[in-house]
A and B are shown apart, each in its own frame.
Chain A
Amino acid sequence: MSSTNRVLLYAILLLMAVLTLLSVPVLEGSGRDQGSLLGVLWGFAERFFPPDFSDFKLWIPSFIESLQMAWMATWLALIPAFFFAFCSSSWVPRGVQVVCLVVLSFLRAIPALIYALLAVAVFGPYPLAGVTALVFYSIGYLGKFFADDFNSLDLHLMNTYRAWGVPRWPAFRYGLWPQVSQRFWAHFLWMLEYNVRSSTIIGYVGAGGIGVHLIGYQEYAQWDRFMAVILLITVVVFLFEARRFFIRR
């Protein structure tokens, strides 16, 4: 490591230390009930446990609806995300890049729950509202990922094929597409998983799916059933995460 790099490294470490110190105030609470903190936590836990699965049959169709919302939203976001990604990659003029990056940042800046609130206002409390909310959010995220993918593609292999005299299309098919498809599928799966999680919660504002039950149980303080739904969501998210145990590479 050169000495300038070393100085830079120390400067960055120092900056991080200062930022940490300056951020300490956010850890301060109101000072209320500090002594019985554990007692309060225990009180919560008592209301959540043991989870009550007696409404299980009601949840299954809602859960399927959540998964369908996630599935549809991820696919519907794909084409617009591709478009914005390409237009914000280094392959297009700089002005266009900036505009598209701003659009993608804006789409990502708004949380899925806010989109859901707006969509419910527009479409009413139906799953369509949930799908719409997820689509907007997904375009923001997928667009960013795909843009990074576009920028980091290694054109070397394709250029070698072209130099050998391989026509344009097969050179792309064999030289670039394997890289493209691998990254894009990885990001697509990431987004699908994200949307599965999001789709369970946007029901909270009435946008369909399992979240509708969550808001109901909260209103009637049925925390044991609330907890059971949370556990179910955890299982689904875990199964998604654990796919690599089942799918052999």
Chain B
Amino acid sequence: MNDSSGFLFVGEELVGPQYLDWQSALSFTIKSGDSILLKGPSGVGKSTVLKWLAGVQVPATGILQKKPSLKVFSIPQDRALNEEGWAWEQLEIVQYLGAPADWRARAKRMAREMELLDLNKKVRSLSGGEKERLAVLRAALVPADVLLCDEPFSQCDARLRELSWKVLHQSMKEAGQQAALVFVSHDDWIPPGRNNWQEWRLSPRGASQ
């Protein structure tokens, strides 16, 4: 693994949640600045791959190497929000992840831009789309080397999706360094503004890149 790469995975066999056994191997590397679109039918294991990368799950087989200093952040499928807590409280975690000192002011501005109007609510009373944007907003506040997005806009309409993506994209650009993005999506929407997308397609038969 050379210096520029973040992840290296050499897979032998994948065990997906629905399909017991993938016929062919999945191997990949993720380097800084990469834009990866992870596609495939429901239940094929897209979220599983993201969980490996996020470090919350370990691959059953294969080897996953990660550069030790790599800062990985995610918008996971479950959004990782505390349902009983306040919406604004969910953002406070960013101060432990290297967010700049003025993160509150930035959060306020970004929330306005993505039309997340009222953060003075309990998380459980937010709509699905609001929860998504809250998770996106939190991700926009954290400077990371790799950002993992698991269908981050699945419950937002096209307009809100564009607004939210603009905020996220802008913050990744402002952070300066070339952050890699792994984006799981169901539909054909490709986040605009990034070049050289690689498409990884997972299917019950295996993976192709």
Residues of A within 8 A of B (CB): 156-157, 159-161, 163-167, 170, 174-175, 178-179, 182
Contacts and interface: CB of A to CB of B under 8 A. Distances in A.
A160 B96 contact: no
Given A156-B78, A166-B96, A178-B84, 9 more contacts: A159-B56, A160-B54, A160-B56, A160-B80, A163-B72, A164-B97, A170-B93, A170-B96, A175-B82
A164 B73 contact: yes
A163 B84 contact: no
A179 B84 contact: yes
B93 A166 contact: yes
Contacts of A174: 82, 85, 89, 92-93
Contacts of A182: 84
A182 B83 CA distance: 12
19 contacts: A156-B78, A157-B80, A160-B56, A160-B76, A161-B80, A163-B54, A163-B56, A164-B93, A164-B142, A165-B72, A165-B97, A166-B97, A170-B96, A174-B82, A174-B85, A175-B82, A178-B85, A179-B84, A182-B84
Chain B interface, >50% SS class: loop
B138 to A, nearest CB: 10
A163 B84 CA distance: 21
Nearest to B71: A165
A105 B78 CA distance: 38
Interface residues of B, number: 19
B93 A163 contact: no
Contact of B74 (A156, A164, A175, A178): A164
A159 B56 CA distance: 7
Contacts of B82: 157, 174-175, 178-179
Nearest to B81: A157
B55 interface: yes
Nearest to A169: B96
A163 B70 CA distance: 11
Interface string B65-103: 000000111101010101011000100110011000000
A170 B93 CA distance: 7
Contacts of B73: 164
A163 B92 contact: no
A164 to B, nearest CB: 6
Nearest to B86: A178
The 8 closest A-B pairs by CB, nearest first: A163-B55, A160-B80, A166-B96, A163-B56, A170-B96, A178-B82, A178-B85, A178-B84
Nearest to B89: A174
Contacts of B93: 161, 164, 166, 170, 174
A170 B96 CA distance: 8
Nearest to A163: B55
Interface string B42-75: 0000000000001110000000000000011110
Nearest to B98: A165
